[in-house]
Structure 1
Amino acid sequence: MSETILALVADYGVGIVFTVTFLSCLALPVPSSLLMLASGGFAATGDLSLTAVFGAAFGGAILGDNSGYWIARGLGDRFHAWLDRAPKRAALLARTKAFMARWGGSSVFFSCWLVAPLGPYVNYVSGLSRLRWIRFALWGIAGEIVWVSLYVGLGYSFADSITEVASVLGNASGLICAALGTVVLGWWLWRLSSRKMRETDTLTQ
């Protein structure tokens, strides 16, 4: 995989960086993080401009985030109808909306870089829940600055060890996502338990 990514960057330059980061923000399975590391490495050797790499990755990410948001917002009614046909899907949508309502703009910011695998889905849910666009866009810009700076910067700084850096970051991201999922599930179970206790107390009074 790493050899393929290096070949793509060598052949297509910043154009492939823009395209892949854009597609990754729409939840398509493309190796955007590894590509940014590789492009940062090429910038370190002078084969690509660091400014151009950063601009392409940042531009693709911002365009992808906002495309996902507006796609979900525009198709919201159809998507709701599809989800409502299955109780499990409807329940998942309700919990996701509750998460967005609780964490608001900060969930957009952290999903861009700290738990990047969740980022595209936060974009969609933001559109579905009609989070105010300017709020979504500003938090997204801040988050993507961190994401792009982190991966391109690491690729630039550790050009000779890109594969090792990618492995470490991938493992860390997976652990963070798992921890976040555990926290959210625990919070939801606590809320459910508290509600049942209140209902029981009401009935016994």
Structure 2
Amino acid sequence: MTSFLDPVIALVSAYPWLAYLTLFLAALLEAIPVAGALVPGSTLILALSALVPGGELKLWGVIAAAIAGAILGDGSAFWAGHRAQRRILNAWPMSKYPGVMAQSETFFHRWGTLAVLFARFVPPIRAFVPITAGALGMSPAVFFGVNIPAVLAWALAHVLPGVLAVSALHEYAGLPHDQGTGKHLWILAVFAAAIIALGVWTLRRRRMGKPPSD
């Protein structure tokens, strides 16, 4: 994996527009069924986010590219399932991965609407739950109402660790860094914490509303 990432990082650090395009495509492909299980999208996003503290890339550009790619990928998969209905779950190339498809459907039935939120953080079913949700009849309003906040939390969870870690390295090692980055990190960290807290609160409320099992 390192031998693959090193030349990619070297290239995109020299051409920022290519870095943003790579981030967009990484997030997009990671959300597409089958491709998402093969493309190291999360690894690329985490690695490229490490270029933010040095000023090679802009924090908001990195986050925006990741969010746009993930929403487009998830949305495309959902609409494909919504249009074709259940028959798409047994079509090629999903038919080549019956185990993952079964796991995705079980995950969806277990968690319902929250599956769209949780799947964003659970590879490899992350790439299969949106198409499953569409195929099993989830409404577009419900899907995107959950998916968009999930993508925002996912993007922050992938970008901020790399930025914070390298920012600390720049700070304590005396390396040059972008002074404008640090002042935005606490805002994003609070925003990410709020989304996570909302998810936990929703999960607890859902569990409390369930009747006790025999």
Q: TM-score with structure 2 length normalisation?
A: 0.64
Question: Whole-Å Cα distance in 2 between the matches of residues 100 and 77 of structure 1?
Answer: 13
Q: How does 1:141-152 map to 2 (within 5 A)?
A: 141-152=148-159
Deviation at residue 120 of structure 1 after TM alignment:
1.2
Q: 1 or 2, which has the higher helix percentage?
A: 1
Which consecutive residues of structure 1, in runs of 5 or more, have no partner in the other structure?
Answer: 162-193, 195-205
Specify which structure has the bigger relative contact order, considering alpha-carbon pairs within 8 angstroms and separated by 6 or more residues. Answer: 1
Task: Give 1:109's match in structure 2, choosing from 87, 104, 117.
Answer: 117
Which consecutive residues of structure 2, in runs of 5 or more, have no partner in the other structure?
Answer: 169-213
Q: How does 1:39-118 map to 2 (within 5 A)?
A: 39-76=48-85, 78-79=87-88, 82=91, 97=105, 99-113=107-121, 115-118=122-125
Corresponding residue of 2:163: 156
**2:23 aligned partner, one-letter code:** V
Identity %: 27
**1:148 aligned partner, one-letter code:** A
Cα distance, 1:17–1:96 mapped onto 2, change above 3 Å: closer
Partner deviation per Cα, 1:55-83 (whole Å, 9 max, x = no partner): 01001101100100011222236426759
Question: Whole-Å Cα distance in 2 between the matches of residues 95 and 43 of structure 1?
Answer: 36
Corresponding residue of 1:185: none
Q: Which runs of 4+ in 1 moved over 3 A?
A: 80-83, 91-99
**1:111 aligned partner, one-letter code:** A
Cα distance, 1:159–1:81 mapped onto 2, change above 3 Å: closer
RMSD, matched Cα: 3.0
